[in-house]
């Protein structure tokens, strides 16, 4: 079945992305994985090629693209090349940190940060998770206390993507300890601010090159104008941005699943056992048939969600459905791919082996599968109240 999701402009852009990855990322990627850190120069190269900062308006140096299908193309090409750590970092920049600045920032904040973010010179991060607060954000203990024209921040964050490279961090802080969910604010902390330090670069199971770190805030003073959005509405701001974050993860999941299927299909008809390609064995054919069918059905749903996102109609519930289903499917497809590769599937020199360790986090970050089901379940229950 031919997909009608992309138009000629998207396919033209695909060539740009493919050429960029072949020139700047693929030759260096395995070294980045070994170093457990992506070369910062690659972000600047991505900025020059129009691969990063797509949604930043032209007045701030970006491409001004509001059609998420262009980001979808980037995700497909990254999945095809197996450069997952690089793709995850781009997704954080384009699907999370830039939209927060774009949608919540003051004119001065946008002018200050967006041009360099679109150029790949300024790397963003968002600091939500703490040692004792993951999916339950109301458990956040990092505090920000107003002192004249400044906020004083104290606390610790963990599992922060881009924690090492980040030049600005959007920190979820408790600014009113007595206001429950209305007591949170988003405050931007910039690199080299006194009292702001980075802890360990965390050694993860997968996504080796994507830097993840602990962040520590000890009497960090930032100007009052670094509040992002409205004071006390931080929790609401987070909820408002989650549909984009979660559909970004869902797109990454289905594109990765498609890539894993393509690698496995090719291998199955190259590898011979019992005198014929293993793809001619009934069990292998059945597995490939299951993979392809589930992928195509899911692609149709994700494509609809992307169009809804473009139209401003994607709900948090629909994004949650897409996120949990696509990421769980990714896990199944990659696991089946490893099985059909046999022993070679367990080798990190094969992209399916790297995909196996990179995939596991997908059903956890951005909200676990269980949290996604709870969101959907609450929406169902609300129909009877």
C-alpha pair distances (Å), 211 with each of 141, 162, 176, 204, 363: 24, 5, 32, 9, 19
Q: Let me know: does 171 contact 187? Beta carbons within 8 Å.
A: yes
| Residue 174 token pair | 């408790």
| Residue 86 token pair | 């690089």
Question: What span, in angstroms and rounded, lies between the C-alpha atoms of 326 and 322?
Answer: 6
Q: Which helix (H) or strand (E) holds 212?
A: strand 212-223
Q: What sign results for the dihedral spanned by CA atoms 255, 296, 323, 341?
A: negative
Q: Find residue 124's DSSP bridge partners.
A: 168
C-alpha pair distances (Å), 156 with each of 50, 112, 219: 34, 26, 11
Cβ atoms within 10 Å of 9's Cβ, excluding its own = 13
Helices 316-341 & 369-382 angle (0-180, nearest 10): 140
Place of tokens 């959907």: 376
Question: What span, in angstroms and rounded, lies between the C-alpha atoms of 366 and 369?
Answer: 9
Please identify every residue annotated as catalytic.
Answer: 245
Cβ atoms within 10 Å of 175's Cβ, excluding its own = 21
């Amino acid at each position: 079945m031919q997909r009608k999701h992309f138009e000629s402009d998207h396919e033209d852009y695909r060539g740009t992305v493919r050429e960029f990855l072949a020139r700047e990322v693929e030759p260096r990627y395995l070294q980045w994985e070994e170093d457990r850190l992506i070369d910062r120069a690659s972000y600047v190269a991505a900025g020059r090629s129009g691969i990063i900062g797509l949604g930043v308006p032209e007045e701030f140096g970006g491409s001004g693209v509001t059609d998420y299908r262009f980001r979808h193309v980037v995700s497909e090409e990254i999945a095809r090349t197996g450069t997952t750590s690089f793709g995850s970092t781009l997704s954080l920049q384009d699907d999370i940190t830039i939209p927060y600045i774009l949608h919540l920032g003051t004119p001065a904040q946008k002018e200050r940060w967006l041009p360099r973010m679109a150029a790949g010179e300024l790397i963003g991060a968002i600091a939500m998770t703490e040692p004792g607060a993951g999916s339950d954000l109301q458990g956040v203990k990092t505090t920000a206390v107003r002192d004249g024209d400044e906020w004083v921040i104290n606390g610790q964050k963990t599992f922060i993507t881009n924690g090492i490279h980040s030049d600005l961090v959007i920190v979820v802080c408790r600014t009113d300890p007595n206001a429950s969910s209305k007591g949170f604010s988003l405050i931007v902390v910039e690199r080299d601010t006194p009292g702001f330090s980075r802890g360990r670069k965390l050694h993860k199971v997968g996504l080796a090159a994507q830097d993840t770190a602990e962040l520590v805030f000890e009497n960090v003073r930032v100007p009052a104008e670094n509040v992002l959005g409205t004071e006390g509405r931080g929790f609401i701001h987070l909820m408002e941005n989650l549909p984009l974050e979660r559909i970004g993860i869902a797109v990454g999941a289905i594109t990765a699943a498609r890539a894993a299927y393509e690698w496995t299909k090719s291998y199955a008809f190259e590898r011979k056992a019992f005198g014929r390609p293993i793809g001619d064995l009934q069990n292998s054919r059945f597995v490939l048939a299951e993979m392809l069918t589930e992928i195509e059905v899911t692609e149709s749903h994700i494509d609809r969600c992307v169009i809804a996102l473009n139209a401003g109609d994607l709900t948090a519930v629909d994004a949650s459905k897409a996120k949990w289903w696509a990421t769980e499917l990714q896990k199944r497809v990659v696991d089946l791919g490893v099985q059909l590769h046999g022993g070679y599937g367990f080798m990190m020199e094969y992209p399916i082996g790297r995909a196996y360790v990179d995939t596991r986090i997908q059903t956890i970050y951005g909200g676990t599968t269980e949290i996604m089901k709870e969101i959907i379940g609450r929406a169902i229950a609300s129909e009877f109240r």
